[in-house]
């Protein structure tokens, strides 16, 4: 297990300001986020938290408000945020997939393929580190720069402030910016701040598991799902070590936790070989730190809504296939649930075999799991019980356009 201590990270954060600085003029404002390192409990905002959920902490420079969340929703779905106005954040983060996109790898406005799979955004407010493998991504305010301005790969492809002019010229925005920031004009930083507030509002906690576990509805889970949950939380299963807690990940921070916890692990998916070498952007934490011991390490994803976030892993390598017609593109003709069941069966088989003998891996936790096929199916059923249908259709998170 790899733990990086906070003092190290605060040094790294300065690099981040330069590494991901899309627009130089905003450097000072963003430094405030890092220098402050103060995270505040927001006041005057109603999170509407599900039972069992702690209050998220937000950077003191960007407190939550209804007005910012609402503005952020418009911006998240607005194609003005891409250079050629063809894509928005929602092109790769789609509500019905819990804000993942159902593909192995997404492409940006130039067609360039992203080296990693789109992540879901359920409960993103609680992650201490964002993205699959970048410990420099400490908050949503700074992360938004990557899809907006990033060039490796190009996502929304912005190169200047033209998008701000487009927003200011649209009559719906000045009153919304006024309400959110006390100033009717958009600017690059306020756009990112509003996007961050909207994403923090994406709380998901009404799955069948939540009803069983936090709402005391003992009939919400079937016998099979309960058996699967027991294996998940057992010392044989080991799953809970990396995917534990209310958000099913070990990288979390909130009002009840003392410190910002974050870890990176290798679960044996990584398959770099002499004959089939991987590029650095597929090598996990190594891509950022350059340490050989970090090859193949990724953040353990939150398993919330896992039933709709296939294909799985940073490389989308576990996807459903059409067993009757292998020439068809994966998943065509199947329901979402069948697709997820297919892909999750492959995931559990991977763990069952002790990580397919790929190395490197966390050998103390990724090891042969002695279960039979019916117990494997119980685990798949448990994972499918983590889907929160309400979240996938809640109009609060839907496109306003």
Q: Where along the sequence are the contacts to ligand HEC (CB under 6 A)? A: 81, 87, 89, 91-93, 106, 108, 114, 116, 118-119, 121, 124, 127, 130-132, 140, 143-144, 147-148, 155-156, 195, 199, 232, 237-239, 241-243, 265, 267, 269, 298, 300-301, 303, 306, 309, 312-314, 347-348, 351, 362, 365-366, 369, 379
What number of CA atoms fall less than 13 Å from residue 60's CA on the CB side? Answer: 9
Question: Does residue 76 contact residue 89 with C-beta atoms inside 8 Å?
Answer: yes
Rank residues 152 and 215 by Cβ distance to ligand HEC and give the closer one. 152
State the nearest-atom distance from the C-beta of 265 to ligand HEC, in Å: 4
Task: Name the token pair of 41.
Answer: 């409990």
Rank residues 17 and 130 by Cβ distance to ligand HEC and give the closer one. 130
State the nearest-atom distance from the C-beta of 345 to ligand HEC, in Å: 11
Rank residues 141 and 210 by Cβ distance to ligand HEC and give the closer one. 141
State the nearest-atom distance from the C-beta of 301 to ligand HEC, in Å: 4
Rank residues 102 and 106 by Cβ distance to ligand HEC and give the closer one. 106
Which residues, listed in sequence order, are joined to residue 284 by a DSSP beta bridge? 297
Residue recorded with tokens 């190290």: 8
Rank residues 215 and 281 by Cβ distance to ligand HEC and give the closer one. 281
State the nearest-atom distance from the C-beta of 48 to ligand HEC, in Å: 20
State the nearest-atom distance from the C-beta of 30 to ligand HEC, in Å: 15
Rank residues 124 and 164 by Cβ distance to ligand HEC and give the closer one. 124
Q: How far apart are CA 1 and CA 234, in angstroms?
A: 19
Task: Name the token pair of 295.
Answer: 């090859």
Q: How far apart are CA 261 and CA 271, in angstroms?
A: 27
Rank residues 215 and 230 by Cβ distance to ligand HEC and give the closer one. 230
State the nearest-atom distance from the C-beta of 383 to ligand HEC, in Å: 6
Q: How far apart are CA 282 and CA 114, in angstroms?
A: 10
Residue recorded with tokens 């100033």: 183
Rank residues 215 and 222 by Cβ distance to ligand HEC and give the closer one. 222
State the nearest-atom distance from the C-beta of 141 to ligand HEC, in Å: 10
Q: How far apart are CA 305 and CA 97, in angstroms?
A: 8
Q: Which is it for the CA torsion 385, 390, 393, 394, positive or negative?
A: negative
Rank residues 122 and 206 by Cβ distance to ligand HEC and give the closer one. 122
State the nearest-atom distance from the C-beta of 207 to ligand HEC, in Å: 15
376 CB neighbour count, 10 Å cutoff: 20
State the nearest-atom distance from the C-beta of 292 to ligand HEC, in Å: 17
Q: How far apart are CA 155 and CA 109, in angstroms?
A: 6
């Amino acid at each position: 297990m790899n733990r990086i201590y906070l003092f190290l990270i605060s040094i790294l954060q300065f690099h981040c300001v330069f590494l991901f600085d899309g627009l130089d003029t905003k450097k000072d404002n963003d430094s405030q986020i890092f220098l402050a390192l103060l995270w505040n409990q927001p006041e005057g905002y109603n999170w509407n938290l599900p039972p069992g959920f702690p209050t998220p902490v937000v950077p003191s420079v960007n407190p939550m408000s209804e007005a910012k969340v609402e503005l952020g929703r418009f911006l998240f779905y607005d194609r003005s945020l891409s250079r050629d106005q063809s894509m928005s954040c929602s092109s790769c983060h789609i509500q019905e997939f819990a804000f993942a996109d159902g593909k192995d790898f997404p492409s940006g406005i130039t067609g360039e393929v992203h080296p990693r799979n789109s992540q879901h955004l359920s409960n993103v407010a609680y992650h201490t580190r964002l993205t699959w493998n970048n410990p420099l991504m400490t908050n949503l305010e700074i992360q938004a720069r990557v899809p907006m301005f990033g060039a490796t790969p190009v996502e929304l492809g912005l190169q200047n402030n033209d998008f701000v002019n487009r927003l200011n010229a649209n009559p719906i925005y000045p009153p919304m910016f006024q309400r959110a920031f006390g100033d009717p004009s958009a600017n690059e930083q306020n756009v990112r701040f509003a996007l961050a507030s909207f994403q923090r509002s994406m709380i998901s906690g009404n799955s069948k598991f939540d009803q069983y576990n936090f709402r005391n509805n003992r009939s919400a889970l079937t016998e099979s799902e309960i058996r699967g949950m027991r294996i998940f939380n057992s010392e044989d299963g080991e799953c809970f070590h990396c995917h534990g807690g209310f958000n099913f990940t070990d990288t979390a921070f909130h009002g009840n936790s003392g410190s910002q916890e974050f870890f990176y692990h290798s679960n044996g998916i990584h398959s770099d070989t002499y004959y089939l070498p991987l590029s650095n952007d597929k090598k996990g934490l190594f891509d950022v730190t350059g340490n050989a011991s970090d090859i193949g390490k990724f953040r353990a994803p939150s398993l919330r809504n896992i039933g709709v976030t296939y294909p799985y892993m940073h490389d989308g390598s576990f996807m459903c296939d059409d067993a009757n017609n292998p020439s068809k593109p994966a998943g065509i003709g199947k329901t979402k649930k069948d697709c997820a069941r297919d892909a999750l069966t492959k995931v559990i088989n991977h763990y069952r075999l002790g990580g397919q003998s790929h190395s490197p891996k966390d050998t103390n936790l990724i090891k042969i799991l002695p279960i039979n096929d019916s117990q494997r199916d119980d685990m798949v059923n448990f994972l499918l019980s983590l889907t929160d249908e309400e979240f996938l259709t809640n109009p609060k998170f839907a496109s306003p356009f």
